[in-house]
Amino acid sequence: MKKHRMYYIRQSAAALTILLSAALCGCSSDKGVNGQVIVYNWGEYIDPETLLMFEEEYGIKVIYDEFETNESMYPKVESGAVAYDIACPSDYMISRMIQNGMLSEINYGNIPNAKKNIGAQYFEQSRGFDPENKYAIPYCWGTVGILYNRTMVEEPITCWEQLWDEKYADNILMQDSVRDAFMVAEKLNGHSMNTLDPAELEAAKNLLIEQKPLVQAYVVDQVRDKMIGGEAAIGVIYSGEAIYTQKENPDLVYVIPEEGTNVWIDSWVILKNAPNKENAEKFINFMCREDIALMNFEYITYSTPNVAARELIEEEEIKNSEIAFPDLSQYGNLETYVYLGEDGDYLYNELWKEVKAY
Amino acid sequence: MRRQSALKSKNKWLSAPYILWSAVFIIVPLGMILYYGLTDQTGSFTLDNITAIASAGHAKALRVSLLLSLVSTLVCFLLAYPLAMILAGVQVKRHNFIILVFILPMWMNFLLRTLAWQTLLEKNGVINHVLSFLHLPALRIINTPAAIILGMVYNFLPFMVLPLYNALSKIDTNVINAARDLGANHVYTFIRIILPLSIPGIISGITMVFIPALTTFVISSLLGGGKLLLIGDVIEQEFTRTSNWHLGSGLSMILMVFILINMVLSAIFDKDGEGSML
Amino acid sequence: MKTIAKRIYVALIILFLYAPIGILMVLSFNRSKTRAKWGGFTLHWYRALFQNEEILRALLNTLLIALLSSLIATVIGTVACIAMNGMKRRAKSVLMGITNIPMLNADIVTGISLMLLYISLGIKFGMGTILLSHITFNIPYVILSVMPRMKQLNVSTYEAALDLGSSPLHAFFKVVFPDLLPGILSGFLMAFTMSLDDFIITHFTKGVGVDTLSTKIYTEIKKGIKPEMYALSSLIFVTVLTLLVLVNLSPTDKKSSVGTLDSENASHSP
């Protein structure tokens, strides 16, 4: 009796294993006709449709990997454990990678769509971290600002200072990120968000500690759902998220604060030891096409630097949205993050730990 | 004579595969952590990474983590013991079913379950909707240490229940009956007979809850609002964000002290290794 | 009265354990992408799930890795238990101590240390490295489940088999193995469970293009969990629950149920 049962268990276990292994082998599709390209991008930062379209048009297989933060991306690329072709780091991370010789120069001749479709002002802005526009092609950009629920506040929120107002205690959401949190404090103090001056840093740290009892939570992504759900009155949010949240909850308003804020750009870069450089160039060129850029914009809702794509946007509201496409000349004190160097990073991290541990 | 120990004296070769595996996959990686922990960026020997635990931020993180883990373990224990006793008294036929009922939640992704707790606990969350419907006061524990404890208890409760259940169900009812026959009341029987016999299960349960709770990091950011810095958060940040593996390894070595303590405790209280999960 | 109190207590704990899963199931029918509001009932995410190749592949990877790693870990672990049974006391405690290390070490430390190992050995990251890592942290659970059974083995039955002329191997499989089976099965189950939900160790030891469900969900955290994941979780839950109920309803003979009080007593000889 028992023998039969064990026998069947063993047989079915073996069969299941074989079946699954076969299924998996069958599933892993063969390499594209024209080779492959290995891309390392933020999570949920591309319309999967575009990848399929690229594969079909060019016959190049896309191996796509995702990361959550610049800081977790960097060591993986540096270690060379995986030889990526393309990555999509943020501004300051790009300057770090340039400094450490990890990127290869872009041959704009092979990527004609870049200069054609992407606005010149974005290349201009990129000079902050890529001085001669040699390494990075902008993919998404945006601002960091305040999102507030107009039914839950007494007056319109227009500056960072109001996030220290006691009447909003337990109703404030801050970003759980060392640079984004310090940026707010430093702007409020009128300092540069890239400062390494010990006195200015200490002042920023103290400001953050002062604010801590009023903060409901330090969040990264959850700011979106929490604001939509009316959990908090005020939150610090990326512009790309703001459009989405407003759609879900029309009571939400996004503003760029008076004291100034961070303008960021995420760009495509080709890595130095990319095994499939030609395919990488074709990939980036494809992503710069106006219809593809439009698809990505509509999927991720983060602002696109692709002006040709912007022309194709049908909804007037979005096309001229102050949030998605703000006229940056109206605002003062806008800065882009700069790589602070190892020592600078260390300093910031230690101070942030003090804030969190307080 | 020879045959009597036949089962015991299998070839030395039998132990070779596992010894080899553990040497390569457990000892060597451990050695690498020790190496990183005891060196700095330039490769020279230093104790800085270990003494870093004494720095204000780290020490506080460790204290907070210890406190939260202890409380969570205690809560788990207090909830699980009565439960295990009740279940142990249930029909033996349902033994498998009971075990699977407690294992099943662990098959759902941990991140998703913790996110679901946000939906339950928030100011405008499900629980508060129900409470306001019943005209009861609102629950305000999200983004507080209490929520972190709740999250830890939630995640680790099965790890406490199962060993306790296993230990308690192994207790021979005849022994209990004999005690009652000899005049012992319920309390006495519990304290002198049931509790001591369940000690291997208790040790196992405490180990499986306390140590993971000590090093957890996702729960504090999702349910605690990121306002409390736990030692798990610090280590995770050193490894993933600041890429200071030396510091991360050094701090991890401190935590390994607890592993040693556990091994010692197990050696004392659970010599025969009877405290198993299932 | 006491019985009702007991029942209520058990019910409350079960409610506590399954409430979040209930939320996930409700969210899987939510038309709105955000978990913060209810946008109406829809089956859209279930449909989308089956068209989403990435998620399905991640699911397959997860199941495959869990199954294979648990199987291999069970074999290695069981053999290790038998071997340890015959070792001297000191050697045995040392080995048991080493066994506990992956279980007790912080996941992140295990993950990073294994990653360092693979890099230094020059092993290419991919399914293979994930598998190796999972086997490594699964083995302790198997050993911990099987070891207690080893002590309760009735050696005389084994010897009787040998006396009656069977070869040691045959005697092992016919006599010893069935007694160990409950421990082996529970070890396998624990290993499978731990492997299914592991995230950190997989995160550090996976290669490009290979994702398990856990790592996939983690990358989605920043931009918002795809509701297809809620749908998937609900489906998995319902499937396993159904299996559970079916298995439980089928008649089981007393001999084969795990850890019955009687059989335990039978092998305890004072």
- Cβ–Cβ gap C32/A224 under 8 Å: no
The confidence score (pLDDT) of residue B244 equals 81
B106 CA to chain C: closest CA distance, Å? 7
Half-sphere exposure of B199 (CA within 13 A, CB side): 13
Provide the whole-model pTM: 0.85
Contacts of B130 (CB under 8 A, 6+ apart): none
**Residues on chain B touching C130 (C-beta within 8 angstroms):** none
Instruction: Please check the confidence at residue B91 and state whether its pLDDT lies above 90.
Output: no
The Cβ of residue A160 has, within 10 Å, a number of other Cβ atoms equal to 23
Predicted confidence band of residue C131 (pLDDT cuts 50, 70, 90): very high
Cβ–Cβ contact C42 with B under 8 A: no
Contacts C96 to B, Cβ<8 Å: 273
C residues 160..179 contacting A (CB < 8 A): 178
Q: Is the dihedral of CA B127, B132, B136, B137 positive or negative?
A: positive
DSSP string of B179-234, one letter each residue: HHHTT--HHHHIIIIIHHHTHHHHHHHHHHHHHHHHH--HHHHHTSTT-S--HHHH
Q: Give this complex's ipTM.
A: 0.85
Contacts of A356 in chain B (CB under 8 A): 57, 226-229, 233
Q: What is the mean pLDDT of residues B46-67?
A: 86
Higher-confidence position of B269 and C23 = C23
The answer to whether the CB atoms of B227 and A230 lie below 8 A apart is no
**pLDDT given for residue C145 in this prediction:** 85
Minimum mean pLDDT among B8-22, B46-60, B262-276: which range? B262-276
Considering the domain boundaries, does residue B265 fall inside one?
Answer: yes
Q: Is residue B144 domain-shared with residue B19, that is, in the same domain?
A: no
pLDDT of residue A116: 92
- pLDDT tens, B134-192? 998 888 888 899 999 999 999 999 999 988 988 888 888 888 888 888 888 888 888 88
Lowest mean pLDDT among A301-305, C39-43, C82-86: C82-86
Nearest-CA distance B267 → chain C (Å): 8
- Domains along the sequence of chain A with CATH: 36-141+265-327 (3.40.190.10), 142-262+333-357 (3.40.190.10)
Determine whether the interchain pair A353/B234 forms a contact, defined as Cβ–Cβ distance below 8 Å. Answer: yes
| pLDDT at residue B124, as a whole number | 87
Confidence of residue A23 (pLDDT cuts 50, 70, 90): very low
C13 CB neighbours in chain B (<8 A) are 79, 83, 157
- Confidence band, pLDDT 50/70/90 cuts, at residue C39: confident
Identify whether B97 is part of a domain. Answer: yes
Residue B5 lies inside a defined structural domain of this protein: no
Confidence of residue B270 (pLDDT cuts 50, 70, 90): low
Q: Based on the domain organization, do B79 and B145 belong to the same domain?
A: yes
Query: In Å, how far is A198's CA from the nearest CA of chain C?
Result: 32
Distance from CA of A63 to the nearest CA of C (A): 6
In this structure, the answer to whether residues B127 and B16 fall within a common structural domain is: no
Q: What is the 3-state secondary structure (H, E, C) of A217-264?
A: EEECCHHHHHHHCCCCCEEEEEHHHHHHHHHHCCCEEEECCCCCCEEE
Per-residue pLDDT, B169: 83
Which chain A residue shows the shortest CA-CA distance from C66?
A17
Please tell me whether residues B15 and B60 are part of one structural domain.
no
pLDDT tens string C117-130: 998 888 888 899 99
Is residue B73 a part of any domain in this protein?
Answer: yes
* Residue B274 located in a structural domain: no
User: Does the structure show a pLDDT above 70 at A53?
Assistant: yes
Q: Which of A24, A43, A225 sits opposite C220 (nearest CB)?
A: A43
Residues B107 and B240 in one domain: yes
User: What is the set of domains in chain C, with CATH numbers?
Assistant: 53-224 (1.10.3720.10)
The answer to whether B230 and B216 are in contact (CB under 8 A) is yes
Residues 6+ apart with CB under 8 A from C185: C258
- CATH code for the domain of B215: 1.10.3720.10
Q: Using an 8 Å Cβ cutoff, are B200 and B167 in contact? A: yes
> Among all chains, which residue has been given the structure tokens 């929520």?
B147
The pLDDT of residue C258 is: 44
Mutation target to probe the C interface, by most C beta carbons within 10 A, among A31, A55, A68 is: A68
Which residue bears the tokens 């999102």?
A: A147
Q: Residue ranges of the alpha helices (H) in chain A?
A: 2-27, 48-58, 70-79, 91-99, 112-117, 120-126, 178-188, 198-211, 222-228, 239-248, 277-287, 290-300, 307-311, 316-319, 341-357
Dist CA C216 CA B158 (whole Å): 25
Lowest-confidence range among A39-43, A286-290, B142-146, B237-241? B237-241
In angstroms, the separation between the Cα of residue C11 and the nearest Cα of chain B is 10
Q: Any CB–CB contact under 8 A between A74 and chain B?
A: yes
Quick one: closest CA in A to C126, which residue?
A82
Asked if A75 lies within 8 A of B243 by C-beta distance, the reply is yes
Residue ranges of chain B whose CB lies within 8 Å of a chain A CB: 56-58, 60-61, 118, 122-124, 143, 221-222, 225-229, 233-234, 237, 240-244
Among left, alpha and beta (phi > 0; psi -120 to 50; other), residue A111 is beta
pLDDT of residue A15: 57
B277 in any annotated domain: no
CB contact under 8 Å between A176 and B123, yes or no, is: no
**Chain A interface test: which of B117, B122, B140, B244 (most A C-beta within 10 Å):** B122
Chain A hits for B226, Cβ within 8 Å = 176, 217-219, 356
Task: Determine the distance from the C-alpha atom of residue A276 to the mean position of all C-alpha atoms in its chain, rounded to a whole number.
Answer: 25
B128 and B235 inside one domain: yes
**Are the Cβ atoms of A219 and B225 closer than 8 angstroms?**
yes
Task: Give the pLDDT confidence score for residue C255 in this predicted structure.
Answer: 43
Q: Specify the range with the lowest mean pLDDT, choosing from A322-326, B93-97, C36-40.
A: B93-97
- Cβ pair A41, A64 in contact under 8 A: yes
Residue keyed to tokens 């949240």: A245
Q: What is the model's pLDDT at position C266?
A: 37
Q: Residue A24 pLDDT > 50, yes or no?
A: no
Q: Are C222 and A300 a contacting pair at CB < 8 A?
A: no
Q: What is the pLDDT of residue A145?
A: 94
**Given pLDDT bands bounded at 50, 70 and 90, which one contains residue B1?**
very low
For residue B105, the Cα-to-chain-centroid distance in whole angstroms is 16
How confident is the model at residue C60, as a pLDDT? 93
The yes-or-no verdict on residue C261 having pLDDT over 50 is no
pLDDT band for position B4 (cuts 50, 70, 90) = very low
Give the total number of structural domains in chain B: 2
Task: Indicate yes or no: CB of C151 within 8 angstroms of CB of B267.
Answer: no
Q: Which of C57, C119, C125 sits opposite A27 (nearest CB)?
A: C57
| Contact check, Cβ <8 Å, C178/A220 | no
- Look at A345 and B237 and tell me if their CB atoms are within 8 Å: no
Residues of B whose CB is below 8 A from A354:
56-57
Q: Which SS3 state, helix, strand or coil, does residue A320 take? A: coil
Q: How confident is residue C257, by pLDDT bands cut at 50, 70 and 90?
A: very low
Residue B276 has a pLDDT of 62
Contact indicator for A193, A179 with CB cutoff of 8 Å: yes
Q: How far is A199 from chain C (nearest CA, A)?
A: 33
- Whether the CB-CB separation of B77 and B205 falls below 8 Å is answered with yes
Residues B178 and B60 reside in one and the same domain: yes
Q: Are C231 and C49 in contact (CB under 8 A)?
A: yes
User: Does residue B242 share a domain with residue B202?
Assistant: yes
Q: Which residues of B202-241 are buried (b: 16+ CB within 10 A; e: fewer)?
A: bbbbbbbbbbbbbbbbbbbbbbbbbbbbbbbbbbbbbbbb
Q: Is C234 on the interface with B (CB under 8 A)?
A: no
Amino acid B189: pLDDT: 86
Q: Do B136 and B114 sit in the same domain of this protein?
A: yes
- Cα separation, A83 vs A89, in Å, equals 16
Asked whether residue C32 carries a pLDDT value surpassing 90, the answer given is no
Please say if the pLDDT value at position A190 is more than 80: yes
Predicted confidence at residue C251, as pLDDT, reads 56
pLDDT at A18: 58
* Residue A217: predicted pLDDT: 93
C-alpha distance from A178 to closest chain B C-alpha (Å): 10
C221 at interface of A, judged by CB pairs closer than 8 A = yes
Least confident of A53-57, A319-323, B220-224: A319-323
- Euclidean distance between CA atoms B243 and A75, whole angstroms: 7
DSSP per residue, C155-192: HHHHHHHHHTT--HHHHIIIIIHHHHHHHHHHHHHHHH
| Together in a domain, B92 and B19 | no
**A71 vs B118: CB contact, 8 Å cut-off?**
no
B242–A218 CB contact, under 8 Å:
no
Query: Given an 8 Å threshold on Cβ–Cβ distance, is B122 in contact with A231?
Result: yes
For the cut 90, the answer to whether the pLDDT of residue C192 exceeds it is yes
Percent of chain A clearing pLDDT 70 (strictly above)? 91
**For range A189-198, the mean pLDDT:** 92
Domain that holds residue B33: 11-46
Mean residue pLDDT of chain C comes to: 84
> Which is higher by pLDDT, A169 or A332?
A169
Task: Please give the biggest Cα pair distance in chain B.
Answer: 77
- Looking at residue C223, its amino acid is K
- Cross-chain CB nearest to A44 (options C36, C207, C223): C223
Is the pLDDT score of B278 beyond 70? no
Q: Do B18 and B139 sit in the same domain of this protein?
A: no
Q: Which is nearest to B7 in space by CA: A256, A180, A152, C82? A: C82
C169 touches chain B (CB under 8 A): no
Residues B71, B25, single domain; the answer is no
Give the mean pLDDT of C27-32.
90
Q: Do A231 and B61 touch (CB under 8 A)?
A: no
Task: Summarize pLDDT for B124-138 with one digit per residue, the tens.
Answer: 888 998 998 999 888
The residue among C88 and A303 whose pLDDT is bigger is A303
Mean pLDDT of C220-229: 81
Chain C, window 44-73: residues with a beta carbon less than 8 angstroms from a chain B beta carbon:
none
Looking at residue C265, its pLDDT comes to 35
Residue B146: inside a domain: yes
CB nearest A68 (choices: C34, C221, C256): C221
Contacts of A218 in chain B (CB under 8 A): 221, 225-227
